[in-house]
Amino acid sequence: MTTIVISSPDMAKEALHKHDFAFLGRTFSHSLQTFDHHRLSVIFSDPSVHWKTLRRTCVSKILSSFQLDSTQNLRLRKLQEMLEYVNECCKKGDDALHIREVTFATCINSLFSKLFSIDVHGFSSDLSREFRDSIWGIMEEVGKPNVVDFLLFFE
């Protein structure tokens, strides 16, 4: 497998803006192809008109400077809530603070607050651990090798 390391911002801009189609050929497991996830996702779909539309929509509606600036107060509020929770735990003298769980809850709440105007994740609830474990489990399943990935005559 050919690997290219880009070590400067100027080269990254050159590669990703001017030659983006040259870097789109990537492999992924057959488990993603089972339910056509590779055709419906910006991340996994092949370069096509559909992919360009998804990418353009993502950049203009989600990742534009205006959109990011418009959510700055929300992100700061969620960060402040996280810091208050950490401060409370320190004052109580709790034995351990699981930073991974706290940062995960902050990220998920920021995302869901932006999309649905609700918090779905508590900092220390069982539901939040189950939610995190579910997402982690999905990532592990998608990343696992599949027999078909190694036996190419099944394709």
In contact, 115 and 79? CB cutoff 8 Å: no
Q: How far is CA 54 from the centre of its chain?
A: 16
Instruction: Place 17 in a pLDDT band, splitting at 50, 70 and 90.
Output: confident
Instruction: Place 21 in a pLDDT band, splitting at 50, 70 and 90.
Output: low
Share of the chain above pLDDT 70, in %: 77
Tell which residue, 117, 128, 103, has the closest CA to residue 74.
117
pLDDT of 80 > 90? The answer is: yes
Is this model's pTM higher than 0.85 or not? no
CA distances from 72 to 9, 83, 105, 122 (A): 25, 16, 17, 21
Q: What is the mean pLDDT of residues 29-43?
A: 69
User: Tell me, what's the pLDDT at 153?
Assistant: 59
